[in-house]
Amino acid sequence: MKIDARSKVEEIYRLYPAALPVLSKYKIDLCCGGRHSLAEVAEKHGLDLARLLQELEEAVQVKS
């Protein structure tokens, strides 16, 4: 699985531990948004989806 706008937060938590600091930085957690896609969470919280995806990809690549 590659992280994209449709990726569910709970899947990212489970499959990509290296992405957790980025999710934490944006206060994205499992209790409120685990079943939502990154696109839904970004829209709800006014986040720049492209930037969030870029940071997640960079975090995952560095740890791979």
The 10s digit of each residue's pLDDT in 5-60 is: 999 999 999 999 999 999 999 999 887 668 999 999 999 999 999 999 999 999 99
Q: Full-prediction pTM beyond 0.95? A: no
For residue 56, the model assigns a pLDDT of 96
Q: Which residue has the tokens 């685990």?
A: 34
pLDDT value at 64 more than 60: no
